[in-house]
Amino acid sequence: MDPFDVLKMSYMASEVFTFPSLVGIDKNLYMHAVIGMFYWGIDSNIAWAVVLNGTKIACYDQMKGLVVLKY
């Protein structure tokens, strides 16, 4: 997960009844967790993004070719 996913999950899992601040959650994670934990699993996240974006680009290119030929 990337750092923003970690912050989002911490924000959603917060047991505070008022809305906690993202800066407060960030400080809490930095103080109680190793900074390397922010980047745990980033290699799989990058691989997923490469496959997803490559697929989108390939499909877009194919569909654009069909549309341009048709009209």
The rounded distance, in Å, linking the Cα atoms of 11 and 7 is 6
Q: Answer yes or no: are the C-beta atoms of 1 and 43 closer than 8 Å.
A: no
pLDDT confidence of residue 2: 63
Say what percent of the chain tops pLDDT 70. 66
Contact 14, 20 (CB under 8 A): yes
* Residue 60 near residue 46 (C-beta atoms within 8 A): no
Q: Can you give the pLDDT at residue 37?
A: 66
User: Residue 55's pLDDT is what?
Assistant: 93
- Read off the pLDDT of residues 33-58 as tens digits, 9 standing for 90 and up: 666 666 677 788 788 899 999 999 98
Backbone angles phi, psi at 21, to 5 degrees: -85, 150
Average pLDDT over residues 4-11: 72
How confident is the model over 63-70, as a mean pLDDT? 83
